[in-house]
Structure 1
Amino acid sequence: MMKSSLSAALRPLTLVALTAVLGACASAPTQYYTLAASDNPTVQGAARFGINVHDVTVPDAVDKAQLMIRQSGDSSAVVPLNGSRWAGSLQDEIQKTLSANLVSRLGAINIQGITGNEQKLPVWLVQTTFHRFDMILNKAAVLDATWRVNPVRMGSRSARVCQTRIQVPAAGGVDALVKSQSQAISLLSDVIAGAIDGHTQVQAGNVAQVQSLGCHSG
C-alpha cells in the first residue's frame, strides 16, 4: 500500500519534470549555419571567362536541413542536430560557396543559370560529386569529392576529372566544426582553381590534409 501511494505521489512530479525539459528544448533558439567564407578576397581585373558550378551531388545521409554529425571517425551512424540547421539546402550551400570561391580566385564571372552569357563568353563548367561530407564532432571535417572541369569555347583546353580528399581538424563544438567544413570547401576550391588557371596554390597550412586520389583528362 505504501509503495502504491508513493508511486502515485511521484507521478505528478515526473510529469512536471518532463514538461519542463520539453519546454526548455522548445524554447532553445535554432542556430543557422552557412559554409560561405567570411573573408573571400576578390581578384582584380576584367573577367576573361565565366564559372558555372552547375551540378553538386551530396550523399543522401547528410543531405538534410539539420547538421548531420558523426560521433567518431569509424562510426557509420550520423545523428541530426535539430537545433543546428543549414541556412539553405546543403547542395545550395556548397554550390554557392564553391561558385563564390572560384569567382574570387580566378577573377571570373559567376554565370550560373545565365544562359545568355554562355553563348558568348568562354566558360568553365564545374561538376562535383561528394562521396563523403563528414562532420566528426570534436575531431575533424572530412570531404571526399570527384570533380570535373569542362572548358567551353576555350580553344585547345581539355576537360579534367579528379578525386580529392580533404581533412581539416576541428576544435570542440558545432561552430568550430562548421568552420572546419567551410575551410575544407575553401581548400577544394583552391584545388579546382589550380586545375583551371595552372597556378592557384592550395593554402592548407600545417594541419589540414589535402590528398589527390588521381586525375585524368576527359
Structure 2
Amino acid sequence: MRILLTAALLMLVLNGCSSPKTTFYTLHAEPIPQALAGAKNTRVMVGPVSLPEMIDQPQMVILGSDNQVQVYEYDRWAGSLKSEIGRVIASNLAKDIGTSNVWNFAQSTQTNFDYQVLVDVQNLQSKQGDSVVVDVLWTIKPALAKNQSAEKAPSQNAAPKSANLMGRSLVREPVTGTGVDALVSAQTRAFVKVSQEIARSVPN
C-alpha cells in the first residue's frame, strides 16, 4: 500500500512539473497562383536568405526592456525563419510584378531563372506592444545568360542589364495588439513592404 501511495504521489509531481505547451508560428503568405491573368514570363528566384546568427534559430527572439534580448523557448517557428522570409517575399513579388513564375530558393529545385533576389537581413528587432524593425540589404542578380548577352552588346546610354541592382529596405511596422500572434503579424507586414520595394526595382 505504501509503495502504491508513493507511486501515485510521484505521478502527481511529474504531471505538475510537465513543460508548457510549445506553440509554433509561421509568417503569412498567400499561395502563388499557377497562372495569373495576363502574367509576364519573367522568372524570379528569391533567395538564399541570410540572417544574423542571434535570430537564426527555432525559438522566437524578442527585444525586451533595457535592450535585453529574450529567447522564447516555447514559442517557435514551424520551419526555418530563412525559408519563412523567402516565402513571404516570393509570394508578394509574384503579385507586385505580375508573374506566377516566382519561387522560394529554400522550397524549390528550380534553377532556371531570369533574376535572382538575394536577401540579406541585417537586423530584425521585435518588441511586444511596440514595433518590428526590419533592415534588409537585397540584390537583384540577372541570370548568367543575360549577363553574357549584355556584355556582348552593351548600351552606351544606360547601365548594362548584366549589372546587379542593389538596394536597402528599412521598415518599421507597429505592433497592433498583444502577444506573440500580433508580433508575428507585424513581422509579416514588414516583409511585405520589403517585397514591394524590391518589386519596384525588378526590370520589366
Find the counterpart in structure 2 of residue 185 from structure 1: 191
Unaligned runs of 5+ in 2: 1-9, 151-159
2:26 is the counterpart of 1:34: yes
Q: Please give the residue correspondences for 1:62-73 in structure 2 after superposition, counting only pairs within 5 Å.
A: 62-72=55-65
The normalised TM-score by structure 1 is 0.70
Report the 3-state secondary structure (helix = DSSP H, G, I; strand = E; otherwise coil) of the residue aligned with 2:17: helix
What's the offset of the Cα at 1:88?
0.5
Tell me the secondary structure at the aligned position of residue 189 of structure 1: helix
1:19-98 matches, cutoff 5 A:
22-23=17-18, 26=19, 28-37=20-29, 44-72=37-65, 75=67, 77-98=68-89
Residue pairs, 1:82-121, within 5 angstroms: 82-108=73-99, 109-111=101-103, 112=105, 113-115=109-111, 117-118=112-113
For each residue in 1:132-152, what CA deviation from the matched residue of structure 2 results, as whole angstroms up to 9, or x when unmatched?
Answer: 111111111110111111223
Q: CA deviation at 1:110?
A: 2.4
Bigger RCO (CA 8 Å, 6+ sep): 2
User: SS where residue 35 of structure 1 aligns?
Assistant: coil
Equivalent residue for 1:164, pick from 166, 169, 174: 169
Q: Distance in 2 between matches of 1:58 and 1:104?
A: 25
Higher deviation after alignment, 60-69 or 35-44 = 35-44
Partners of 1:22 and 1:80 in 2: CA distance: 21
The 2-side partners of 1:144 and 1:21 are apart by: 43
Which one of 139, 147, 150 corresponds to residue 148 of structure 1?
Answer: 139
Which consecutive aligned stretches of 4+ in structure 1 deviate over 6 angstroms post-superposition? 15-18, 39-42
Please report the TM-score for the alignment, with normalisation by the length of structure 2.
Answer: 0.74
Closer, same or farther: CA 39–125 of 1 in aligned 2, 3 Å: closer
The number of equivalent residue pairs is: 174
Q: Distance in 1 between the 2:36 and 2:48 partners?
A: 24
**SS of equivalent to 1:196:** coil
Aligned mates of 1:110, 1:29 — CA distance in 2: 36
Task: Give the CA deviation at 1:184.
Answer: 0.2
Of 151-160 and 94-103, deviating more is: 151-160
Give the whole-Å Cα distance in 2 for the aligned partners of 1:38 and 1:99.
Answer: 10
Give how far 1:80 is off: 1.4
Distance in 2 separating the partners of 1:161 and 1:148: 4
2:157 alignment counterpart: none
- On the 8 A contact 1:65/1:90 being kept in 2, the answer is yes
SS of aligned partner of 1:80: strand
